[in-house]
Amino acid sequence: MKVNAHDFAQEYTLLECIQCGRCTGGCPVSLKTALNIRSIIYQALVDDAIEVNGMDVLWDCTNCLTCTIRCPKDVHPSDVIIGLRGYIVGEGKGVPPRVRDALMSAFTRGNTLGFATEDRDKWTEGLGFEVKNVLEAGETDVLFYVGCTPAYDPRIQPVTRALATIMHRAGIDFGTLGVDEMCCGNEIRRIGESEGFESMVEEFHEMRKEFQARRMVTVSPHCYNAFRNEYGDLGFPVYHYTQFLVELLETGQLTFDKEVRKRVTYHDPCFLGKHNNIYDEPRQVLRSIPGLEFEDLDRSRERSVCCEGGGGRMWAEGTNIEERLAHQRVRDAIALGAEVLAVSCAFCLLTLEDAVKTLGLDEQIQVMDIMELVAQAT
Ligand code: SF4
Ligand code: SF4
């Protein structure tokens, strides 16, 4: 499929581009695949048309945002990728099969993982307390937005349960949308399915009319990003759970009574760090855990390296599956002497844990969500 390059360049303000190459220079993926965002932009500037069929490198991008942050001319190269993917998705040809399945499942079942809609609240089983259904109750202090992977993935469910337990013990009035909660659409938008994403936003706003809430807390940085930046006015602020934990620590609603004697480092998720500048709160929570020794990786905060789980990459294999950024990340953590590589994102947990297993390094390092470390200390 050929995209009119002139119109595309206008729509994405590419005429501002001075071809300095800082976008590609900062792109972690371009170090391992043929993805070159500067040259894609060049093509849009000098050619009549961009041929997107067969442009498999578009699916290598993790939407980590490094290119956009580094661009001196305020061009948004990461949006260029999303825009071009949109043409592929619109035509329906050349979408990687697992990406297609995730899209289909998000629209038919409300989750990207292919699970049954009615099982969305199964994670609450065995908690020992009831989780309020906000749609039935009509009001809540905290709307706990769980998200697809934290609701269904057996590896992430303990993280979700631990957060609910902390809120319950702290006496927080919280509840969820139960089985009516739907995918937030953060990755759906980044896959290029913008119309589908807009309909998700509209559906949420319809549901929003049915309850009162003072704030929203999300497990995932991806849900946090979508609701905070892409849903318009929700009528309440959105918190990632690490921000919420800091508040609970400051008010004394969360206290620790056990030591966690571990050397820990932290991997910044792109959708919390680069997309939303939340670097301090996760570190603040880790540093407050008694007995825990914290040290930052060399490449951290704004310089952090992506785990390759974002922007739809959980489902697209990419053009170079041998060399994974998650492998580098795990090796960096081990070189630092860490026993635990902490994360605050379900995708990071899954990709980094997979890297540890693939490399056979289970004896040397463990990947844990911050929430799991907090649970060990309470
Ligand atoms: S960093 Fe910005 S100005 Fe430089 S090549 Fe990339 S898009 Fe163009
Ligand atoms: S968003 Fe990240 S992976 Fe995608 S082109 Fe930009 S720097 Fe590369």
CATH number at residue 138: 3.40.50
pLDDT in tens, 66-89: 999 999 999 999 999 999 999 999
Work out whether strand 263-266 and strand 293-294 pair parallel, antiparallel, or are unpaired.
parallel
Give, for 111, the enclosing helix (H) or strand (E).
Answer: none
Q: Is residue 220 located within the same domain as residue 123?
A: yes
| CA 65 to centroid of ligand 2, rounded, Å | 6
| CA 253 to centroid of ligand 2, rounded, Å | 39
Q: Is residue 230 located within the same domain as residue 272?
A: no
Alpha carbon 140 to chain centroid, angstroms: 25
At 321, the pLDDT band (50, 70, 90 cuts) reads low
In whole angstroms, what is the distance from residue 99 CA to residue 124 CA? Answer: 28
What's the total number of domains in the chain?
Answer: 3
Mean pLDDT computed over 232-261: 98
Q: Is residue 316 located within the same domain as residue 190?
A: no
Q: Is residue 81 located within the same domain as residue 108?
A: no
Sorted by sequence, the CB contacts under 8 Å of residue 231 that are 6+ apart come out as 201, 204, 205
Q: Is residue 240 located within the same domain as residue 117?
A: yes
Beta bridge partners of 266: 342
Q: Are 312 and 88 in contact (CB under 8 A)?
A: no
Domain boundaries, position 292: 256-377
Q: Which of 35, 68, 91 is the last residue of a domain?
A: 91
Residue type for position 307: C
pLDDT number for residue 93: 87
pLDDT number for residue 220: 97
Q: Whose CA is nearest to atom 3 of ligand 2?
A: 61
Mean pLDDT computed over 109-115: 94
Sorted by sequence, the CB contacts under 8 Å of residue 265 that are 6+ apart come out as 294, 295, 296, 297, 333, 336, 338, 340, 341, 342
Alpha carbon 185 to chain centroid, angstroms: 11
* Helix, strand, or coil (residue 321): coil
At 32, the pLDDT band (50, 70, 90 cuts) reads confident
Q: Is residue 108 located within the same domain as residue 146?
A: yes
What CATH number does residue 50 fall under?
Answer: 1.10.1060.10
Beta bridge partners of 143: 175, 216
In whole angstroms, what is the distance from residue 70 CA to residue 103 CA? Answer: 30
| CA 36 to centroid of ligand 2, rounded, Å | 9
Tokens of 251: 């008010």
Sorted by sequence, the CB contacts under 8 Å of residue 17 that are 6+ apart come out as 41, 45, 73, 75
Mean pLDDT computed over 198-210: 98
Ligand 2 neighbour 29 (Cβ under 6 A): yes
What CATH number does residue 343 fall under?
Answer: 3.40.50.10700
Residue type for position 13: T
In whole angstroms, what is the distance from residue 97 CA to residue 53 CA? Answer: 15
Ligand 1 neighbour 79 (Cβ under 6 A): no
Alpha carbon 179 to chain centroid, angstroms: 21
Residue 187 DSSP symbol: H
Please give the number of the atom of ligand 1 that sits closest to the Cα of 37.
6
pLDDT in tens, 2-14: 999 999 999 999 9
Residue 357, number of CB atoms within 10 A of its CB: 12
pLDDT in tens, 179-192: 999 999 999 999 99
Q: Would the pLDDT of 317 be above 90? A: no
Residue type for position 284: Q
In whole angstroms, what is the distance from residue 153 CA to residue 144 CA? Answer: 17
Q: Are 14 and 41 in contact (CB under 8 A)?
A: yes
In whole angstroms, what is the distance from residue 82 CA to residue 311 CA? Answer: 9
Give, for 12, the enclosing helix (H) or strand (E).
Answer: none
In whole angstroms, what is the distance from residue 82 CA to residue 310 CA? Answer: 13
Buried b (16+ CB within 10 A) or exposed e, 5-28: beebbeebebeebeeeebbbebbb
Q: Whose CA is nearest to atom 4 of ligand 2?
A: 61
Tokens of 32: 């391992």
Q: Is residue 193 located within the same domain as residue 137?
A: yes
Q: Whose CA is nearest to atom 2 of ligand 2?
A: 64
Q: Is residue 284 located within the same domain as residue 312?
A: yes
Beta bridge partners of 144: 217
Q: Is residue 143 located within the same domain as residue 267?
A: no
Q: Whose CA is nearest to atom 6 of ligand 2?
A: 67
Q: Which of 91, 125, 150 is the last residue of a domain?
A: 91
Q: Which of 74, 91, 108 is the last residue of a domain?
A: 91
Mean pLDDT computed over 295-312: 89
Q: Is residue 75 located within the same domain as residue 125?
A: no
At 370, the pLDDT band (50, 70, 90 cuts) reads very high
In whole angstroms, what is the distance from residue 175 CA to residue 223 CA? Answer: 16
In whole angstroms, what is the distance from residue 121 CA to residue 177 CA? Answer: 9
At 318, the pLDDT band (50, 70, 90 cuts) reads confident
Sorted by sequence, the CB contacts under 8 Å of residue 199 that are 6+ apart come out as none
269: nearest Cα among 301, 226, 317, 233:
301
Q: Is residue 229 located within the same domain as residue 104?
A: yes
Q: Would the pLDDT of 253 be above 70? A: yes
Q: Would the pLDDT of 139 be above 70? A: yes
At 269, the pLDDT band (50, 70, 90 cuts) reads very high
pLDDT number for residue 165: 98
Kindly report the pTM of this predicted structure: 0.96
At 314, the pLDDT band (50, 70, 90 cuts) reads confident
pLDDT number for residue 249: 98
Q: How many CA atoms lie within 13 A of 247 on its CB side?
A: 12
Mean pLDDT computed over 143-151: 98
Q: Is residue 233 located within the same domain as residue 369?
A: no
